[in-house]
Structure 1
Amino acid sequence: MTKRRWLWILLFILAVTILGILATGLNVVVVRDYQKLLDLARTHSQQLPQTRIPWLTVVLGTSGFLAAIAALVVFFFRLLQEMRLNQLQSEFLAAVSHELKTPIATMELSSSLLKEATQPEEIASLWDSHDEELKRLKFEVETLLEAARWDSHAVSTRRTSIRMENWIQESFERWKKILGPSAVLIREGEPFDFEARVDLRLLSLIADNLMDNARKFSRDQTAVKITTHLIAPHSIWGSSRWRMEIQDQGWGFDPSDSGKIFKRFFRSRNKAPQAVAGTGLGLYLAASACRAMGLKITGRSSGTGQGATFTLEGKRR
């Protein structure tokens, strides 16, 4: 569950607790008043003054109990519905991704064999386009399968010490392929000449999904700038940190959506002129992988058409 959902659950529990305390207190007052009247009747034989029954107190106390019980029942059923929906989504992701993996592998093998054969230039160009689209389809299916693994808590981290600068340089060509043949990818900032303990597969998954997100939401030509920073400790007890910013010039998103874009299946209201392809899981996977490794990920945008900047931050060794 997200932090916001947990907040609503805590607020609900607090509200029910307050209602229960108030309802119990009001009914205790009623019982105590009548007990005093009975004691007074036993100790005095003279006529007691007429005492009005506090019906308002009784009604408020009973209503409070009923409201608390009704709210608890409604909340319980809504929680069951949401849990069932999440389970169905996870089962669907797992089933679809597994069903698609085999035919894609077969198509990849056929494509590679046909490309090796001697062909006219035009046909070879068509096969190259076919191969690129097949790679994109494979990436989407792998994203679905990865999401299913995260939902079933079947992902474990294997941290190793890597040279961050080497990782960036080795990943650069792969990122260019993800962005597309006409894309522009530049690197600025300080060199990451240090070692960090990370899960290499998850770190690459994060960066690859951010690059794929930049490609999907690009307006004309895809242009991405990577900026790297070294952050000094804020105090003698603090630790040195690294920061990597991935900035695109795409459609961006409404600033009010900055806390929602990492949710599963979330689609930003960016008013793109055409429907954006994809599963809606890329940023969700990136955020999940960051949490697993103790990294921080944020996204910001000035609004529609202003591009977006995603920031990764972690500790240096």
Structure 2
Amino acid sequence: MSNSIPLKDNHIEDKYRTLFDSIDEGYCILQILFDESGNANDFRYLQVNRAFELNNGLQNAEGKTIRELAPDIEPKWIAIYNNIAQTGEALRFEEDSAALGRIFSLYAFRIGNPEEHNVAVIFSDITARKKAEIALRESEHQLKRSLKLRDEFISVASHELKTPVTSIKTYTEVLLERFEKNKDVESAQLMTKLDKQVDRLTQLVNTLLDTNNISDGGLRLSPGEFDLNELIYENVEQLQRTTLHNKIVYKGLQPVIVYADRERISQVLTNLVSNAIKYSNENGDINICCKRLTGKIEICISDEGIGVGAKDQQHIFKRFYRVENGTDLSVAGMGLGLYISAEIIKKHGGEISVKSKGDGEGSEFCFTIPLHQ
């Protein structure tokens, strides 16, 4: 019987040692040491596991004090562990040590009788993770700064362009009228082409201005009641002139009175139908339909074009996003039309979405707006 207890204790100690030597975290038991005045001024490592050295770099620590192992160790470590030994309150925390050149995640708790001043610590070296987090934050800061500079450039450039573009448009129209009056057909044709290019430039400037206004939260609406059918027919008539190969089909409902910003909804229709024309197959129809829902109306524009993949559908309404499809490389654009359209519809309290079975299967863009105030 006299040998059974020690054998049992040895068995428990072996299991205990095996357990803590098998974990990846560093583990140690330390004892707080005091000077003659009773002030905590050091601690001694009583026991450490195999992962101890891997996690803090201290070699052959068992039996040695922290000041022997790291003379420049920060006093805060002694203060933290002493407080735990005195109060018995366990503590989970993260702390860095310049002396050890590492950052740690730790869980420390008192072990044994209070008068022994022993503390057990389970810890891991998180230096690499913390440095990665810092690098990520710095990258995010740089990205935000770059985006801010980009937006500021877009804002300044678009505002600076607006006045000269307006002047060019005015002079172009004056010259076109003069050439037509003088029956100078060749010059009039050239001015007509120039006028169309100025219109494209004007649209580009307005798009950049809209993008900047949305970023600043300054997209304003001037809502009112109007007949949606009338607006759609106007857009169909204008846009049909831009394509000889695609037929835009719209079978209107009875007069549909909606409460929205007429100019902005026209802008959305123009963006969606223009995209359908750009990405449609030759001779493919573009269909527009309306459906009454509770308190709102849904407008859908569908085409028989290249379609939108599932991955692209998740991002297609984001700013500057363009579909990565080898068949559309020749199509000009900045990835702003759908972004602006989505923001306009959201500003109206509506929703916008896209449906497509994938490449070559066509696509359908739908949005909703309120029927009345």
**Normalised by the size of structure 2, how large is the TM-score?**
0.63
Q: Deviations over 1:48-74 (max 9, x none)?
A: xxx9x856x1x23xx36x577546534
SS at match of 2:110: helix
Highest relative contact order (Cα 8 Å, sep 6+), 1 or 2?
1
- Which residues of 2 match residues 126-275 of structure 1 at below 5 A? 126-177=190-241, 179-180=242-243, 183-188=246-251, 191=253, 193-220=255-282, 223-231=285-293, 239-272=294-327, 274-275=329-330
- The code of the aligned residue for 2:257 comes to E
- Which residues of 2 match residues 47-126 of structure 1 at below 5 A? 57=122, 59-60=123-124, 63=125, 69-70=130-131, 72-116=133-177, 117=179, 118-126=182-190
The 8 Å contact of residues 250 and 305 in structure 1, kept in 2 or not, is answered as yes
Distance 1:273 1:279, change over 3 A: closer
Higher helix share: 1
Aligned twin of 1:7: none
> Hey, what's the Cα distance between the residues in 2 that align with 1:135 and 1:84?
33
SS at match of 2:308: coil
Q: Deviations over 1:84-142 (max 9, x none)?
A: 12212211211222233233223322322232223354544443333323322221221
Kindly state the Cα deviation for residue 174 of structure 1 after the two structures are TM-superposed.
3.2
Aligned twin of 1:31: 109
- The code of the aligned residue for 2:332 comes to A
- The code of the aligned residue for 2:110 comes to R
Distance 1:163 1:32, change over 3 A: farther
SS at match of 2:326: coil
> Hey, what's the Cα distance between the residues in 1 that align with 2:185 and 2:357?
45
Distance 1:99 1:305, change over 3 A: farther
The 8 Å contact of residues 140 and 279 in structure 1, kept in 2 or not, is answered as no
Identical-pair percentage? 25
Q: Which runs of 5+ in 1 are unaligned?
A: 1-21, 43-50, 232-238
The 8 Å contact of residues 260 and 370 in structure 2, kept in 1 or not, is answered as no
Q: Deviations over 1:1-24 (max 9, x none)?
A: xxxxxxxxxxxxxxxxxxxxx944
> Hey, what's the Cα distance between the residues in 2 that align with 1:84 and 1:154?
21
> Hey, what's the Cα distance between the residues in 2 that align with 1:191 and 1:163?
11
Q: Which runs of 5+ in 2 are unaligned?
A: 1-90, 95-104
SS at match of 1:97: helix
> Hey, what's the Cα distance between the residues in 1 that align with 2:205 and 2:283?
25
The 8 Å contact of residues 159 and 209 in structure 2, kept in 1 or not, is answered as yes
SS at match of 1:31: strand
> Hey, what's the Cα distance between the residues in 1 that align with 2:164 and 2:306?
34
Larger Rg: 2
Distance 1:73 1:206, change over 3 A: same
SS at match of 1:276: coil
SS at match of 2:230: helix
> Hey, what's the Cα distance between the residues in 1 that align with 2:292 and 2:196?
36
Kindly state the Cα deviation for residue 281 of structure 1 after the two structures are TM-superposed.
0.7
- The code of the aligned residue for 2:273 comes to M
- The code of the aligned residue for 1:155 comes to L
Distance 1:27 1:125, change over 3 A: closer
Kindly state the Cα deviation for residue 273 of structure 1 after the two structures are TM-superposed.
5.6
Distance 1:105 1:156, change over 3 A: closer
**Normalised by the size of structure 1, how large is the TM-score?**
0.73
Kindly state the Cα deviation for residue 256 of structure 1 after the two structures are TM-superposed.
1.6
The 8 Å contact of residues 232 and 269 in structure 2, kept in 1 or not, is answered as no
Distance 1:160 1:144, change over 3 A: same
Q: Is it true that 1:287 corresponds to 2:342 in the alignment?
A: yes
Distance 1:256 1:87, change over 3 A: same
Distance 1:269 1:313, change over 3 A: same
- The code of the aligned residue for 1:205 comes to Q
